[in-house]
């Protein structure tokens, strides 16, 4: 809530993280995966959503769930349905605006790469109806099975850098297994530039509500006004992170 300090720091907190991503980008895909794990540990966006809950097959036990993620729009339909074309256009403009505000070169090119990569991710997402299927989304999976399903993706590098113990990851529940399986191919086929820019965007999207007024305003203009139809922001919302 110390807005004076936030404005004084400006983009410095972001640029520190940007430098870490840029360094990982120079080292290659596995370094980017490790950096992604560290970012997720710090509260940034990643390829999937993780949460702990009771195991539906054994309610006396808690287990980690892995759910599809990686998108800046609400769900996969926003990337394919013609009725959302205006939203996609606004999203692309928002991406370019944010990359410009953060001082990154070639903001339009970065914005296009992020939207294209998220569109690929969305093509492997389950739709909302299928995701509500309790049986289809209950897929107990050992870490050995997960490594096999994600062959080619440096899963252990990600796990270690994100601070998840082997014990906690020994068995997980995959809610959308086909999405997780597709990640290895996608991660290895997308350009390093696209992966880097998507990670940069994930950091900005996660932390914009806590940063300078111009980033707060940009975040609210899209996620508040365009997506949610909220006409005005409020101090309690913009600094709470509820719009992330």
Q: How far apart are CA 199 and CA 114, in angstroms?
A: 9
User: Which of the residue ranges 16-30, 85-99, 211-225 would you say has the lowest mean pLDDT?
Assistant: 211-225
243 and 209 Cβ atoms separated by less than 8 Å: yes
CATH number 2.60.40.420 is the correct assignment for the domain at 3-238: no
Q: What is the torsional sign of CA 19, 22, 27, 29?
A: positive
- Split at pLDDT 50, 70, 90, the class of 243 is very low
Taking Cα atoms as reference points, which of 124, 164, 144 lies closest to residue 37? Answer: 164
Q: How far apart are CA 34 and CA 52, in angstroms?
A: 22
The secondary element (H helix, E strand) that includes residue 149 is: helix 143-149
Segment 61-84, tens digit of pLDDT: 999 999 999 999 999 999 999 999
The pLDDT of 43-68, averaged and rounded, is: 93
Strand partners, 140: 173
Q: Rounded to 5 degrees, what are φ and ψ at 205?
A: -65, -40
Q: Rounded to 5 degrees, what are φ and ψ at 95?
A: -60, -45
- Split at pLDDT 50, 70, 90, the class of 242 is very low
What does DSSP assign to residue 78?
A: G
Segment 154-176, tens digit of pLDDT: 999 999 999 999 999 999 999 99
Paired tokens of 129: 């109806």
What does DSSP assign to residue 82?
A: G
User: Which of the residue ranges 113-122, 215-224, 227-236 would you say has the lowest mean pLDDT?
Assistant: 227-236
C-beta neighbour count of 15 within 10 angstroms: 14
User: Which of the residue ranges 40-49, 135-144, 191-200, 204-213 would you say has the lowest mean pLDDT?
Assistant: 204-213
41 and 163 Cβ atoms separated by less than 8 Å: yes
Residue 101 pLDDT greater than 50, yes or no: yes
Taking Cα atoms as reference points, which of 120, 71, 69 lies closest to residue 95? Answer: 71
Cα separation values, 23 from 20, 32, 37, 45, Å: 5, 9, 15, 19
206 and 43 Cβ atoms separated by less than 8 Å: yes
pLDDT of 211 reads: 77
Q: How far apart are CA 125 and CA 166, in angstroms?
A: 27
pLDDT of 14 reads: 86
Residue 244 pLDDT greater than 50, yes or no: no
Model-level pTM greater than 0.85?
A: yes
C-beta neighbour count of 171 within 10 angstroms: 17
Residue 203 pLDDT greater than 50, yes or no: yes
Segment 114-165, tens digit of pLDDT: 999 999 999 999 999 999 999 999 999 999 999 999 999 999 999 999 999 9
The pLDDT of 97-102, averaged and rounded, is: 95
pLDDT of 160 reads: 95
Segment 8-44, tens digit of pLDDT: 656 777 888 999 999 999 999 999 999 999 999 988 9
pLDDT of 208 reads: 81
The pLDDT of 210-227, averaged and rounded, is: 89
Contacts of 206 (CB under 8 A, 6+ apart): 43, 44, 45, 244
Cα separation values, 74 from 7, 47, 78, 228, Å: 29, 14, 7, 11
């Amino acid at each position: 809530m110390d807005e004076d300090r936030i404005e004084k720091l400006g983009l410095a907190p972001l640029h520190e993280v940007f430098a870490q991503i840029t360094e990982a980008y120079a080292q290659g895909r596995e370094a980017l995966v490790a950096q992604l794990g560290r970012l997720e540990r710090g509260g940034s966006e990643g390829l999937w959503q993780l949460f702990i809950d009771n195991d539906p097959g054994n309610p006396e036990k808690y287990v980690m769930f892995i759910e599809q993620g990686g998108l800046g729009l609400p769900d996969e339909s926003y990337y394919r349905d013609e009725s959302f074309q205006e939203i996609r256009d606004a999203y692309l403009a928002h991406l370019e605006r944010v990359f410009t505000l953060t001082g990154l070169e070639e903001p339009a090119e970065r914005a296009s790469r992020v939207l294209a990569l998220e569109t690929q991710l969305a093509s492997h997402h389950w739709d909302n109806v299928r995701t509500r299927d309790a049986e289809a989304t209950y897929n107990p999976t050992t870490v050995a099975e997960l490594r096999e399903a994600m062959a080619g993706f440096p899963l252990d590098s990600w796990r270690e850098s994100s601070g998840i113990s082997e014990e906690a990851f020994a068995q997980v529940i995959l809610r959308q297994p086909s999405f997780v399986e597709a990640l290895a191919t996608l991660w290895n086929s997308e350009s390093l530039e696209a992966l880097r820019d998507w990670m940069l965007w994930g950091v900005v999207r996660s932390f914009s509500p806590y940063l300078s007024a111009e980033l707060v305003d940009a975040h609210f203009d899209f996620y508040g006004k365009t997506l949610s139809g909220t006409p005005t922001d409020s101090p309690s919302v913009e600094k709470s992170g509820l719009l992330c």
